[in-house]
């Protein structure tokens, strides 16, 4: 397997005599044939990850925005521990869908427990969105681990928002320059609840926890420095300082543009996939599966920072 072979590095060889050997995985990062994403092959997250290997993954995550770790037979505790290496973890507002014993894990599931109660959020991601964009500090990224997959359907789509901005027609680019938009968890909550009554009625405490946030329409990614569109049909309610009809019209044009097929990768889940996407670079959408088929996944969500506006330079170019 030459593709997985590790090339010896002279520096490592000379240090080896004096320093305890670091377990390096000869893993491969293979870009997907898509506008985003890379597969990580030959890495076992059961084993400790060296700082060097972590740095390689970090670089790949910033470059590709989505990493697909194949065949990860890890426990929830290992999923949480790996997620923590990327930052602080969020506890989702829908506490009833936590994995018992692991509050950092949100169950994305259409299964019911022995008591007949839904185990998880069965309709997570039914509109394009970036996780937790309704918070002042939205999410850096989310890690979703497949537990049970349907034979049919259940794919997840991802759209590259750096490319969406770069490919924005000039008139739209001018229209969004310097604009800010409101994001709200409540924007479509009641509509989703009417269709999926297993979504709990939110308590006043939960509603207070998800106050809307205002973010730049075009932000500069905190780590890779690239501009990206940051509005979504799920959570973005309005563009600040525009009349309602103009705001709606501009948002609809942005939603159409930002999810065009040429920006999209379709993830077809394989057993034990763990995927880690960058919520600052991508939006995602669950395509859904027939109700009678079982689909069960675990999600952790890494906290990010307050988005910073991307400013055009004097030339009017991004
Ligand atoms: C999520 C989500 C999509 C899916 O877990 O954040 O949007 O396909 N899931 O389950
Ligand atoms: Mn999501």
Q: pLDDT at position 311, please?
A: 87
pTM: 0.91
Strands ordered across the beta sheet of 308-309: 227-229, 218-220, 308-309
Is 129 a catalytic site residue? yes
* Residue 151: partners with Cβ closer than 8 Å, 6 or more residues away: 293
Residue 312 falls in which region: left (phi positive, over 0), alpha (psi -120 to 50) or beta: beta
Render pLDDT for 247-284 as a digit per residue (tens, 0 to 9): 999 999 999 999 999 999 999 999 999 999 999 999 99
Q: What is the mean pLDDT of residues 231-255?
A: 98
Q: At 53, is the secondary structure helix, strand, or coil?
A: helix
pLDDT band of residue 25 (cuts 50, 70, 90) is low
- Cα–ligand 2 centroid distance for 7 (angstroms): 38
Ligand 1 site, CB within 6 A: 108, 124-125, 131, 142, 144, 156, 284, 286, 297, 299
pLDDT above 90 as % of the chain? 88
The answer to whether the beta carbons of residues 118 and 313 sit under 8 Å apart is no
- Cα–ligand 1 centroid distance for 269 (angstroms): 12
pLDDT band of residue 197 (cuts 50, 70, 90) is confident
> Rounded distance, CA 48 to CA 30, Å?
21
> Rounded distance, CA 173 to CA 26, Å?
43
Render pLDDT for 99-158 as a digit per residue (tens, 0 to 9): 999 999 999 999 999 999 999 999 999 999 999 999 999 999 999 999 999 999 999 999
């Amino acid at each position: 397997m030459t593709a997985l072979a590790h090339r010896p590095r002279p520096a490592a060889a000379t240090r080896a005599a004096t320093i305890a050997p670091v377990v390096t995985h000869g893993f491969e990062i293979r870009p997907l044939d898509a506008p985003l994403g890379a597969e990580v092959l030959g890495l076992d997250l059961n084993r400790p990850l060296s700082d060097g290997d972590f740095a390689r993954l970090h670089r790949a995550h910033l470059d590709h925005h989505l990493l697909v770790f194949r065949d990860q037979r890890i426990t929830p505790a290992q999923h949480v521990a790996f997620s923590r290496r990327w930052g602080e973890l969020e506890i989702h507002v829908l506490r009833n869908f936590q994995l018992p014993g692991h509050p950092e894990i949100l169950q994305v599931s259409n299964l019911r427990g022995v008591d007949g109660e839904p185990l998880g959020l069965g309709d997570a991601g039914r509109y394009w969105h970036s996780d937790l964009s309704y918070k002042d500090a939205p999410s850096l990224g989310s890690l979703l681990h497949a537990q049970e997959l349907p034979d049919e359907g259940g794919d997840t789509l991802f759209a590259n928002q750096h490319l969406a901005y770069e490919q924005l027609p000039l008139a739209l680019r001018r229209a969004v320059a310097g604009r800010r938009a409101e994001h709200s968890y409540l924007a479509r909550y009641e509509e989703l609840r009417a269709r999926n009554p297993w979504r709990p009625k939110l308590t006043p405490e939960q509603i207070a926890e998800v106050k809307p946030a205002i973010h730049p329409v075009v932000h500069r990614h905190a780590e890779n420095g690239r501009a990206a569109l940051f509005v979504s049909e799920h959570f973005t309610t309005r563009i600040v300082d525009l009349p309602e009809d103009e705001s709606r019209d501009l948002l609809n044009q942005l939603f159409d543009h930002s999810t065009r097929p040429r920006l999209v990768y379709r993830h077809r889940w394989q057993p034990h996939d763990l995927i880690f996407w960058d919520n600052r670079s991508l939006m995602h959408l669950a395509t859904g599966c027939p109700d009678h088929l079982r689909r069960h996944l675990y999600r952790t969500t890494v906290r990010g920072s307050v988005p910073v506006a991307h400013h055009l330079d004097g030339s009017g170019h991004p």
